[in-house]
Amino acid sequence: MSTSSLVPAPILALPWKILLLVSAIAGFGLLILYSAAGARMTWALPQAVRFVVFLTMAIAMSRVHPDRYKMAAFPTYALVLVLLMLVEALGFVGGGAQRWLDLGVIRLQPSELMKPVIVITVAAFYSSLPPAEIRRWNAIWPAALLIGIPWALVLIQPDLGTATMVLAGGMTVMFLAGLPLRLFIGGAAVLAVAGPVAFSFLHEYQQRRVLIFMDPDADPLGAGYHISQSKIAIGSGGLFGKGFLNGTQSHLDYLPEGHTDFIFATMAEEWGLMGGIFLIACFAMVIKWGIGVALDAKDRFARLTAAGLTTTIFFYVAINLMMVMGLAPVVGIPLPLVSYGGSAMLTIMLCLGILMSIERQNVRERRR
Amino acid sequence: MSWHSMRRRARPIITESNQAYTFTRRAMVLGGAQGLVAALLAGRMGWISIAENEHYNLLSESNRVQMRLIPPRRGWIVDRTGQPIAINRSDFRVDLIPDRIIDEDRIIFELTRLLELPPEEVERIREELKRAAGYQPVPVAENLDYEKYAAVTVRLPELPGVSPLRSFSRSYPEGAAVGHLVGYVGTPNKQEYEKEDKNPLLITPGFKVGKEGLEKVLEPRLRGRPGAQRVEVTARGKLVRELSTLPDRGGGMLQLTIDAGLQAFAARRLGPESGSVVVIDCLTGDILALASMPAYDPNAFTDGISQKEWKMLSQDERKPLLNKSLNGLYPPGSTFKPMVAMALLRAGIDPEQRVNCPGGFQLGNRFFRCLGRHGSMNMHTAIARSCNTYFYSMGRRAGIDVISAMGKSLGFGQKFDLPVVSQNYGTMPSAEWKKARYERSKKLVERPDWTESDTLNTSIGQGFVIVNPLQLAIMSSRIASGLDIQPHLIREKRAAPKPLPYPKEHFDAVRAGMWEVVNGHGTAGRSKLEVPGVEMGGKTGTAQVRRITGGQRGQSGAWKYRDHGLFVCFAPTAAPRYAASVVIEHGMGGARAAAPVAKDVLTWLYDKPKALASLATFEEQWGGDIKARMEAEARRWDLTNPPRPANGAT
């Protein structure tokens, strides 16, 4: 009771648990970036600024009522879809793939925006669908279309990783919305059969990545280099790591992308299994919090959105870690809040902002 | 219950509340699955970092730490007195590591500018870069002066893939004079690399292996053991720091039986001629000189020989690439006669028995010619005057079997245990040899059975007989000392040679004849040693290159058809110590071309200033010493073979 007099109520009302958790992850990430840059602030400083800006944005977003997001869902979706098509049309060729839209001030990556947007849109669709319709064909095709179009657009960019995440995010909401289970089981079966067929449609460099993922040591100096070096970094870290600033894999440039996609390996080399457990535990707590928010929510849109966005964060982390540990092909998914770069952080903060908005609403409803 | 209601029950109405229940259930399943994945990832990480930690630690170390081999310094080759024959001198070089090059064109352009590389070198570097496999360095330039080396070193950060190195390169102070003897070293080729199971030392920049001569044969003794430097490097190969260094162990010093001064003198004394001088210590078998000229300069090979130099060497009719002392084969001519005389004595022929020489010897309907009408000849005068008739007649009496056995016993047709790349051991013919030879090929031998005319030809060192200069020197030393001399090139403690199983009187008779050749009424009287108290015994020889046709006797005409001049000798006659053979290709006569060389070479052993004074006079006539003449020849070659004009020139 005494604290309330010292600290203003709006600040006290902030979701401190999640904010501290996220800050812990990002703070640890800054340490890793400092080390990866060779004990320099080259990457840590811009990343810190970005984190503060995006976190402020997320807190601001938490003040917006979830219904607003529901209303904004379809227009936003349409806008991002147009941007995606624009990328295709006037796309800027960078890194062998057309992903960026140069708006002068910033380089926008619409596919990144699509990750949270697809969740909100599909959630909005199901929340407006009468419960009786859920087992009908009408409950399936509009959602399939909503997901399928951006998925296809991202896939032809080509960006297998992001396309997969868009698909997974949308499908998760469909699953949570209560579509018959046999659809998903059947879908998985079809996928198992169609997988090899789809493989033949992949770009050559993607095919190679998949094949190398199966056997990274076959060509350790070629394209399997990423996975091999990443495993060496993690494996040589041991239980407690080689010590802060003492990683050789990252500092001697053996580990490629050591500050972006493979930052987990950079971390693991210096902090060992302990550092890894810490990060995984932090992310698990974020996920647990997110699922908790979803379960607490009373409104169907809020529930679906919260669970869907949480799963999007989960996919980010899971795909990145699997890739780094040699359990998934190299698809170019960064580790959220830790990897250097703005796009992924923006996406995660959008997710967190909406999640915090839903939590805020939950608390209010409970008080009522 | 109606059909209709049955269907209805199968499809229950879904309300908001049971939809919320489904959501809760599925969300929990989803959350549980995510937790499971998190646990799985933590487990996987634990497996990699704990269970496989050792394995990955090793890989990480092998990433970080690179072994850089330090090529061992090659062992010196010195002569019997310790004077250097092959040494190492400090050298600056620049190499390219293909794997690490970024922007090849720019790097080559920069290097061309800094090192002033000629266009043909740039072309070679580009070619080699195309063929180079990964780490194998491509040499850019060797023997750089310090300024150029430093110019590259200071610009190193902007020249990825360029590797400047301080190393050692082989140097031969006597140059071409020891060319055939020691051979040369060079960068290992692919075959050599694979033959040594891809020994990484062989692809270390600056490392050379023996390619010819002693350098090649004695490679294991000369090479030494490489050192290693453990260095921490980045993925791009940039050196971070040195961790530890294991010093190299240089190759062992190799002492030869050769006398470097004598070797150089002999090579110089051969002058512009094509030929060989072999000098042997006839008490021990130590080879004191093994000179073959013209020769290549082994220093030129160390730096990598240019196409022009190679063309010059391989197109020369005097065959500077052939070691004539070991691989040159010649009919011995009359230098064979001391051996034949030994055989005659062995056959029981009385050396005092006389044969009349009317200018030749009639065998059936064929007349075998002598070079003169010598009249009445015994063994002593027949050796001194080189009378063919005596040897025809007596050789026929003794028969080929005795001659052939004696020839082999004195070294002909034999290969010696020497550390050399190859020896052409020639032919010491016998009846069995002829038969075997006939069965193999009918080109050289027209009929399988040995004939008396074969014996006659063999008796004067013609016909089927071919020998190399080393064998001539061995014959000479065995006759001079009466010992079963084996030639040696490496100076080591050895058991003294055993005496040959022939009576002393036989040797004395032949030696006396050889004394007469030089010091009495003989064929080489003009080549008498002018050293007080030292007399030389010898035997001249003139060998036909082709069968005599018409009146021409190989004394004129094209150089390559002229007779070879040969000479074998030993000194001092009172107590023989040195034996030698001299072969002058197409020198027209032993007395004329070979004996004077032998005289000067033996003089050097007793009176160096006198020998050098004589040489100075000759070199003035010839146009300088070996190096000066070779340079002049290269300039002449350039004039007659002008380099092709560069592209674009009009």
Q: What's the confidence (pLDDT) of residue A3?
A: 52
Angle at A155 between CA A150 and CA A157, to 5 degrees: 100
Collect all residues of chain A within an 8 Å Cβ-Cβ radius of residue B48. 231, 234-235, 325
Return all residues near A168 (Cβ < 8 A) that are at least 6 apart. Answer: A311, A315
Collect all residues of chain A within an 8 Å Cβ-Cβ radius of residue B30. 172, 175-176, 291, 307, 311
Residue B140 three-state SS: strand
Q: Nearest C-alpha of chain B: how many angstroms from A180? A: 10
Beta bridge partners of residue B427, listed in sequence order: B466
Collect all residues of chain B within an 8 Å Cβ-Cβ radius of residue A132. 13-14
Q: Nearest C-alpha of chain A: how many angstroms from B184? A: 38
Residue with tokens 């004191």: B288
Of A134, A287, A304, the CB nearest to B14: A134
Using the beta-carbon criterion (under 8 Å), do A178 and B52 form an inter-chain contact?
no
Q: With contact defined as beta carbons under 8 Å apart, do B563 and B572 qualify?
A: no
Q: What's the confidence (pLDDT) of residue A219?
A: 53
Using the beta-carbon criterion (under 8 Å), do B35 and A314 form an inter-chain contact?
no
**Low-confidence residues in chain B, pLDDT < 70:** 1-12, 132-136, 236-239, 303-304, 546-556, 642-650
Tokens at B441, concatenated:
């090929």
Of B35, B44, B235, the CB nearest to A253: B235
| CA-based nearest residue in chain A for residue B64 | A248
Q: What's the confidence (pLDDT) of residue B135?
A: 53
| CA-based nearest residue in chain A for residue B54 | A236
Q: What's the confidence (pLDDT) of residue B3?
A: 46
C-alpha distances (whole Å) from B330 to each of A99, B371, B426, B476 are: 83, 20, 8, 16
Q: What's the confidence (pLDDT) of residue B597?
A: 94
Q: Nearest C-alpha of chain B: how many angstroms from A147? A: 20
User: The dihedral of CA B302, B268, B574, B477: what is its sign?
Assistant: positive
Q: Render B19-74 in DSSP notation, one character per residue.
A: HHHHHHHHHHHHHHHHHHHHHHHHHHHHIIIIITHHHHHHHHHHHHEEEEEEPPPP
Q: Backbone phi, then psi, for B619, in 5-degree steps?
A: -65, -30
- Residues B505-551 pLDDT 10s: 999 999 999 999 999 888 888 889 999 999 999 999 998 876 554 44
Q: What's the confidence (pLDDT) of residue B550?
A: 45
Q: With contact defined as beta carbons under 8 Å apart, do B237 and B99 qualify?
A: yes
Using the beta-carbon criterion (under 8 Å), do A248 and B57 form an inter-chain contact?
no
Q: Is B43 touching A (CB cutoff 8 A)?
A: no
Using the beta-carbon criterion (under 8 Å), do A248 and B49 form an inter-chain contact?
no
Q: With contact defined as beta carbons under 8 Å apart, do B226 and B248 qualify?
A: yes
Q: Render B185-230 in DSSP notation, one character per residue.
A: EE---HHHHHHTTT-GGGGSTT--EE-SHHHHHTHHHHH-B-EEEE
Tokens at A343, concatenated:
């796009």
User: The dihedral of CA B264, B266, B272, B276: what is its sign?
Assistant: negative
| pLDDT tens for the 368 residues of chain A, in order | 455 567 787 787 888 999 999 999 999 999 999 999 988 999 999 999 999 999 999 999 999 999 999 999 999 999 999 988 888 776 555 444 456 666 655 567 888 899 999 999 999 999 998 888 888 888 899 999 999 999 998 888 777 788 889 999 999 999 999 888 888 888 888 888 887 787 777 777 777 767 666 655 555 555 577 888 888 899 999 899 988 988 888 888 888 888 889 999 999 999 999 999 999 999 999 999 999 999 999 899 999 999 999 999 999 999 999 989 988 877 778 999 999 988 889 999 999 999 999 999 999 888 87
Q: Render A234-264 in DSSP notation, one character per residue.
A: HHHHTTT-S-TT--HHHHTT-STTTTTTTHH
Q: Is B45 touching A (CB cutoff 8 A)?
A: yes
| CA-based nearest residue in chain B for residue A279 | B42
Question: Is B334 known to be catalytic?
Answer: yes
Q: Is A175 touching B (CB cutoff 8 A)?
A: yes
Using the beta-carbon criterion (under 8 Å), do B31 and A233 form an inter-chain contact?
no
Interface of A with B in 244-263 (CB under 8 A): 248-249, 252-254
Number of A:B CB contacts under 8 A? 143
Collect all residues of chain B within an 8 Å Cβ-Cβ radius of residue A304. 23
| CA-based nearest residue in chain B for residue A256 | B235
Collect all residues of chain A within an 8 Å Cβ-Cβ radius of residue B46. 273
Per DSSP bridges, beta strands A92-94 and A97-102 are antiparallel
CB atoms within 10 A of CB B360: 17
Q: Which of A173, A221, A252 to mutate to test the interface with B (most CBs of B within 10 A)?
A: A252
Q: What's the confidence (pLDDT) of residue B413?
A: 93
Q: Render B414-482 in DSSP notation, one character per residue.
A: -----S-S-----B---HHHHHHHHHH-TTT-S-SS--HHHHHHHHTT-TT-BB-HHHHHHHHHHHHH-
Angle at A45 between CA A41 and CA A51, to 5 degrees: 145
Q: Is A272 touching B (CB cutoff 8 A)?
A: yes
Using the beta-carbon criterion (under 8 Å), do B34 and A314 form an inter-chain contact?
yes
Q: Which of A232, A255, A257 to mutate to test the interface with B (most CBs of B within 10 A)?
A: A232
